[in-house]
A and B are shown apart, each in its own frame.
Chain A
Amino acid sequence: MMKRHEQRNRWVVAAAALCCLTISHFAGERAFAAGVGNDDFDHQSKKFFVAYDAVPEPFMTADSGDRNLADFYELRQYPGSPPRIPHPVDLTISGNGTDCLACHAKGGYSAEFGKFIPVTPHPENSLCYQCHVQKVTDATFVASTWQSIKPPRLGLSFLAGSPPSIPHSLQLRENCIACHTGPGAVAEIRVSHASRGYCRQCHVPAVQQEAFSEFRRP
């Protein structure tokens, strides 16, 4: 069995060898050596409990079915990227916490859009336009060769019938109920038991770090 990192290193070395034929630089052996262990940062869990206390149960368990996962990913460039703003906003949005957050801090029904409003998992960040952009044109400046990857899979239970794990990083998304409960939530990722108070009692963060490979005696 060849392990993931080794595979990658060999791939890079091979690519570098190809480069060497022409320009003779960029050996890749060290290129992947400084991998960073990620998702070890878990000091923001209080956010969830505060939010949970503040959201009434009937709201959490309501379901409008308005949004689905395809809409959800359409606004993103890759898993975890800040979604675009899908509706017109005033150009003068100010960052003083009274604009976007008036609707997106708590959610509820928007008469303007005829929809339930998605809730941000990180209302403590009030400079929304720092990360979230509008779209005023579909045109690109030049074409792009960008490629995305598959979204994280759903239903990642380790054993039959066991609670599925959390397939995404918790960074900026510590507050589970923002996206997984309420009438504005995406249908496919709404939980069936929104009123239970402590998601991570059962659901463990398990962002896939390693590819599956066959067992071979070491």
Chain B
Amino acid sequence: MKLDRRRFILSAAAGSAVATAGALFPGISFADWPKITGNSGVVSWQKAPCRFCGTGCGVLVGVVEGRAVAVKGDPNCSVNKGLCCMKGYHSVQALYGADRLTKAKIRKNGEMVEVPIAEALDLVAAKLKETRDKHGKNSVAIYGSGQWTIPDGYVASKLFKGCLGTNNVEANARLCMSSAVTGFMTTFGIDEPMGCYEDIDNANVFITWGNNMAEMHPVLFSRMLANRKRRTNVKIIDFATRTTRTSAAADKSILFKPQTDLAVANAICHEIIANDWVNWNFVGEHVSFHKGKTNIGYGTEDNFAFTDQDEAIGFEDYKKFLADYSPEKVEKISGVSAKDIKYMAALYGDPALKVTSFWCMGMNQHTRGTWINNLVYNIHLLVGKISTPGNSPFSLTGQPSACGTVREVGTLTHALPHGTVTDEHDRKMAAEIWGVPVENIDPKPTYHTVEMFRALDRGEIKFMWIQVTNPMVTLPNLKRYRNGAKKEGHFLVVSDVYPTPTTDVADVILPAAMWIEKEGLYGNSERRTQHFGQIVNPPGEAMSDTWQIIEVARRLGFEKQFPWSPENYIEKIWEEYRRFHAGPKHEMASYQVLSERSGVQWPFVNGKETRWRFNPKYDPACTNGKAFDFYGKKDNRAWIWARPYEPAAESPDSDYPFWLNTGRVIEHWHTGTMTRRIPVLHNAMPSSYVELNPEDAADLGVVNGEKVKIISRRGEVTIPAQINGRGVPPRGMVFVPFFDESYLINEVTLDAFCPISKQPDYKKCAVRLEKA
């Protein structure tokens, strides 16, 4: 950088002022932290997406002397426009927990001993090869997450699907948003939201479906509140199973009984048709009607299999199907008054109002997750409120790259970076770009996540590599899977940044570079790809997950497929990966553009981002000459599905009379391995708890802070009670945040899942309570 004359005078003046003013307040520091000594006070700022949720806020990380010391919201990033939440502002503190994993460890005679990372990688490669040779290609597996960067997931898929020929590639995102994916695929034939966060500035009505946005997506929730404050005709309706901070901030809170969102969504459609609020032009041109199988099961048994079968129906058939869902009938099932159902239907039905629906885990972690996603799309499609600013059925995500890595790269057993393993054309494309014989790619999907861990328990999978996630806290019915993981004859490799209950069961621990300690890319909920450079160095021998996989791939003889150098491997991987998405439906920006901007939305065609898909005003992939083009489906229409209400896999009964619901709190993210090491967040939320309804607590004889034993058919947890805290469940329900490894609530939950998406339901199982 050239120092011009004016700048020189300025900095000289500042420097001399520093010399005198520096001693003005000697005792002051921030929260009593030790200060970096001898630094000039200059902070350099560099952009990155936030490490935590799927909102994808832009942050600016301040660096002094090679250490991250501060965070600002990135005003250049349209996601958050310079505002973060408490996790984002303190995110850099997550790099500095005193127990960072900095050396590789391997299990020798039952003890974990430190070894050079090269030795650990040798062992990983040798064990992988040995297992595969001895037990076949499907005895080895890799399990990642939506915290994988795009290059992490890409090389994992390339190695396992392309080179090793197994579809044993899964990710925590299966537990998190696979119902959203199958919802998109069944309704639109193409994944990810059609809208974007600008919908928040344009909508008049927000309906949050089982979604405590005020705590889980606070930056987007704030944007809703700002919209409501700025304009006179904006309303927020919280439609949920318990009263939360979102209910408190909403204009109206409507509570429904768990699982009955299915019935209410159908009742809203019933009401829209009964009042003739249907947008007939839209429906006639752009919608077709379908039904699938019913009584589809819950997947609680091993080797459960289900394939849906669609059947085209007419509007009249659909109307007849809805006859069972009049508001009055549904009031009896759902506990939502017919009046409230009609109120919601009227909001969706009023042609003068723009409506955005938001949902996340409430609808996705649901044994009918695909169905409820379909049903909310049905509402928007009947009234034609979609793909225009402010009219948006919007599926939020929980992990920073659930969309970017898991959904777009396709790190799920059935998927490829473009399309699916079952499709010959997609296999050929992958084989060509990867430089492998097409026969390498197995056309048959293997295990989804729950079944993969069942297979580990059964002994079918003998080698598993787990990166950037913590299944020994997050899996439902956890006891079975932890006992399974501990069985002899398995070899478990875990890459992580801190010790966790998952590294506890590992045979090899690989220390990983975290977030801004490596270069990478994430993809957020609104189709935005976000690049970040390496901003600080990783500690010790910590290595990026991508490079760990490359090292192992080379040891297995795949130098040709993994030829990159450490200087520019991320750029090379990105440019290779980008070839999968060429074309107007999914064109990705170049490395150059991504490294310069605070995120770019795809499809990125001719230098322009696509904010609303399926709408020719914004989306260059629309070619049918009509007002909308739902090009994901062969009939160029979006599909309305007749999906019935079916009960939950396990409902309260006389032995287990309470619903158990689990979720998150604003302070902590996922299993808390990072946020609990941020002192300011741990100080605010040091432990998990169980929320009780005050009357249930009185019946139980429990007051705030006393311990309650929560017992299900699978396990029990004893945990302090919180009564009239930030959330209040209705009578007959308890709620437990899952972040705390001292209270493993997933030992209590049930491993039932949506038969279509295979995503487990963490929101509903039956428990009984005892005063502990």
Contacts and interface: CB of A to CB of B under 8 A. Distances in A.
B31 A92 contact: no
A18 to B, nearest CB: 9
Contacts of A54: none
A81 B98 contact: no
Interface stretch (B81-89, B173-181, B401-409): B81-89
A146 B97 CA distance: 8
A154 B25 CA distance: 9
Nearest to B7: A210
Interface stretch (B200-208, B604-612, B679-687): B679-687
A131 B82 contact: no
Contacts of B684: 84, 133-136
Interface in B93-133: 93, 96-99, 116-118
A156 B10 CA distance: 11
Interface stretch (A8-16, A104-112, A176-184): A8-16
A81 B102 CA distance: 28
A92 B544 contact: no
A111 B127 CA distance: 69
A204 B26 CA distance: 25
Contacts, number: 319
A5 B32 contact: no
B352 interface: no
Interface in B672-693: 672, 676-677, 679-686
Taking residues whose C-beta sits less than 8 angstroms from the other chain, chain B's interface range is 35 or more
A187 B218 CA distance: 33
A114 interface: no
A140 interface: yes
A172 B81 CA distance: 11
A29 B534 CA distance: 10
Contacts of B86: 82, 129-133
Interface in B22-73: 22, 24-25, 27-36, 39-47, 60, 62, 64, 66-67, 69-73
B75 A27 contact: no
B724 interface: yes
A135 B28 contact: no
Query: DSSP class of A's interface residues: helix, strand, loop or mixed?
Result: loop
B30 A148 contact: yes
A90 to B, nearest CB: 9
A207 to B, nearest CB: 8
Nearest to A27: B567
A38 B22 contact: no
Nearest to A19: B537
A148 B35 CA distance: 5
Contact of B679 (A16, A33, A140, A152): A140
A124 interface: yes
Nearest to A43: B75
Taking residues whose C-beta sits less than 8 angstroms from the other chain, chain A's interface range is 35 or more
A126 interface: yes
A135 B18 CA distance: 34
A201 interface: no
Interface string B722-740: 1011100000000000000
B458 to A, nearest CB: 35
B682 A145 contact: no
A143 interface: yes
Interface in A132-183: 132-159, 169, 171-172
Given A26-B518, A169-B72, A127 B249 contact: yes
A33 B592 CA distance: 12
B14 A34 contact: no
Nearest to A72: B28
A24 B566 contact: yes
Contacts of B66: 8, 11-12, 15
A169 B249 CA distance: 30
A81 B10 contact: no
B2 interface: yes
Nearest to B218: A130
A95 B39 contact: no
Given A135-B683, A149-B64, A154-B24, A81 B82 contact: no
Contact of B229 (A4, A33, A124): A124
Given A133-B683, A156-B14, A77 B72 contact: no
Contacts of B722: 91
A38 B63 CA distance: 13
A25 B98 contact: no
A192 interface: no
A25 B225 contact: no
A62 interface: no
A81 B535 contact: no
Contacts of A92: 245, 248, 724-726
Interface of B: 1-3, 7-8, 10-18, 20-22, 24-25, 27-36, 39-47, 60, 62, 64, 66-67, 69-76, 82-86, 89-90, 93, 96-99, 116-118, 214, 218-219, 221-222, 225-226, 229, 245, 248-249, 513, 518-519, 533-535, 537-538, 541, 543-544, 547, 566-568, 595-596, 666-667, 672, 676-677, 679-686, 722, 724-726
29 contacts: A24-B566, A26-B534, A26-B544, A29-B567, A32-B46, A36-B76, A41-B82, A70-B27, A84-B684, A92-B248, A93-B726, A95-B225, A95-B245, A127-B225, A130-B221, A133-B86, A133-B683, A140-B679, A142-B677, A143-B99, A147-B69, A149-B35, A149-B64, A151-B30, A158-B17, A208-B40, A211-B15, A212-B16, A213-B3
Interface of A: 3-6, 8, 11-12, 15-16, 19, 22-36, 38, 41, 69-70, 73-82, 84, 91-97, 124-127, 129-159, 169, 171-172, 188, 206, 208-213, 215, 218
